[in-house]
């Protein structure tokens, strides 16, 4: 669908409450991914949150470096507020999409706009300076992400801007006055320290934070992410050439538990109190 020049896809269960919306930002390190890669996850989120999910097809690097993704996300959020009460809108995203969600909240707040009711970040990438301890400490146990690929993607996304810019690396930003935040992350992934540091900094800023760390890997809620990253390592995604510097070293095999954790994630999502009670 077209949203004032933006592209996106509505994904929702037939019985989803038409008064409730969830704006979702897909992952892919700002260089790959699309609504199609996250359709199954968003269908589950629609059912658990009883809301209509809009998956934004934001512009990607290197063709569209920062601030293109943030500009698209802010524009989509404001467009959504024209049709939905901000108190009935949730923001969510995984990996780069989780970082984009935080950057979007900061941009909305700084401009004096209303904010969504809550935000949910799945394995968020919020430090594009790649300074987290788990970047190297969990490199051997993460079957999906590599430090080299994150560094290359950060460089492509930042373009001519320094990666310490707060809306590129939201961990550098001011987090005061943001809505309640749910963070989910796997114990074996290289973005574990990003999630933990985001939770710590947000709590210190007075934000209500729920941090859920389980034994598992990157964005375990999204089984299809396995196929996405396999295609990345193969060299192309949807016809896009991927940097040959992406590591192709062998990884431990994925387990069925990886996909099964999607159910746990959606269950916690529904218990999080996403929306207030509404009258029929």
- The yes-or-no answer on residue 133 being catalytic is no
- Contacts of residue 27, defined as CB under 8 A and 6 or more positions apart, other chains included, come to 33, 38, 93, 94, 95, 96, 97, 98, 122, 123, 125, 219, 222, 225
Query: Looking at 34, 46, 95, 123, which residue is catalytic?
Result: 95
Helix axes 256-271, 39-49, angle to 10 degrees: 30
User: Is the separation of the CB atoms in 124 and 198 below 8 Å?
Assistant: yes
- The yes-or-no answer on residue 189 being catalytic is yes
What are the catalytic residues? Answer: 95, 189
């Amino acid at each position: 669908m077209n949203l004032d020049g933006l592209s996106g896809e509505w994904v929702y269960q037939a019985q989803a409450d038409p008064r409730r919306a969830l704006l979702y930002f897909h992952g892919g390190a700002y260089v790959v991914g699309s609504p199609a890669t996250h359709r199954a996850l968003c269908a589950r989120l629609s059912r658990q949150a009883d809301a209509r999910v809009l998956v934004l097809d934001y512009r990607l690097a290197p063709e569209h470096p920062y601030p293109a993704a943030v500009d698209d996300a802010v524009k989509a959020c404001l467009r959504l507020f024209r049709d939905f009460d901000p108190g009935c809108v949730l923001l969510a995203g995984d990996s780069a999409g989780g970082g984009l969600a935080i950057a979007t909240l900061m941009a909305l707040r700084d401009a004096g706009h209303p904010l969504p009711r809550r935000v949910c970040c799945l394995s968020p990438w919020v430090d594009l300076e790649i300074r987290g301890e788990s970047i190297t400490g969990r490199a051997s146990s993460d079957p999906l992400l590599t430090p080299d690929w994150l560094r290359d993607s950060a460089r492509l996304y930042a373009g001519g801007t320094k990666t310490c810019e707060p809306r590129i690396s939201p961990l550098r930003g001011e987090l005061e006055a943001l809505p309640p935040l749910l963070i989910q992350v796997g114990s074996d992934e290289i973005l574990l320290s990003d999630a933990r540091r985001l939770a710590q900094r947000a709590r210190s800023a007075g934000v209500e934070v729920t941090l859920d760390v389980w034994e598992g890997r990157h964005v375990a809620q999204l089984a299809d992410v396995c196929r996405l990253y396999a295609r990345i390592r193969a060299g192309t995604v949807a016809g896009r050439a991927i940097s040959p510097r992406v590591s192709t070293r062998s990884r431990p095999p994925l387990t069925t538990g990886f996909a099964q954790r999607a159910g746990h994630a959606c269950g916690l999502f529904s218990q999080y109190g996403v929306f207030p009670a509404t009258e029929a």
